[in-house]
A and B are shown apart, each in its own frame.
Chain A
Amino acid sequence: EDQVTQSPEALRLQEGESSSLNCSYTVSGLRGLFWYRQDPGKGPEFLFTLYSAGEEKEKERLKATLTKKESFLHITAPKPEDSATYLCAVQPTRETSYGKLTFGQGTILTVHP
């Protein structure tokens, strides 16, 4: 069974204090790993797709990296507007899971000014 575990459950940072969020996954074969940002009461916003170990993607203060067992979302010099829940999801290679994503429970990030 595919599993995605995100840690920590919640993270409180001061503005400018860099940190990382973790996404550990267990899947028989990885077709892709996805990061989303979700603001309270809204739908998730797509951030990144990572396909293979060693791949990195960047967007403003965010950088996502991927290994064979986990992914990290690095946040550099965060601002209060980066406060949100960050979701990780995986897409396995199995044909029976075609198009289906398995999500982690999310990390709630709060950045204080």
Chain B
Amino acid sequence: DGGITQSPKYLFRKEGQNVTLSCEQNLNHDAMYWYRQDPGQGLRLIYYSQIVNDFQKGDIAEGYSVSREKKESFPLTVTSAQKNPTAFYLCASSISPAVYEQYFGPGTRLTVT
């Protein structure tokens, strides 16, 4: 089955630790995205990548980093510089940046204490 996988589903970390969230897709999509979702707020874009080895900051990139070394993978690192990292993180992909329907993975809930 084609789709987007995110792992792990739940992640717990201590404050001050960096953590990497995995996102893999086998849809052969060029574009990939990372969003953050907090209760009562809309999804907010963290980073996006239109093509391998290229990515751009979204609206709330501070404290996050990404890489796009392979078409199917777009991992997100939440660094210790992110002041409020506890949130639900969603990865998405689209066939290309010009085709705007984005398809989402199941999400990773990160809790930092």
Contact = CB atoms under 8 A, between A and B. Distances in A.
Interface stretch (B67-75, B77-85, B96-104): B96-104
A42 interface: yes
Interface residues of A, number: 24
B41 A100 contact: no
A103 B107 CA distance: 17
Contacts of A103: 42-44
A104 B50 contact: no
Interface string B6-30: 1000000000000000000000000
A41 B43 contact: no
A44 interface: yes
Interface string B102-113: 111111010000
A34 B43 contact: no
Contacts of B42: 4, 87, 89, 102-106
Contacts of B105: 43
A101 B50 contact: no
A42 B106 contact: yes
Given A49-B100, A99-B97, 4 more contacts: A36-B104, A43-B92, A91-B100, A103-B44
Interface of B: 4, 6, 31, 33, 40-45, 48, 50, 58, 90, 92, 94, 97-98, 100-107, 109
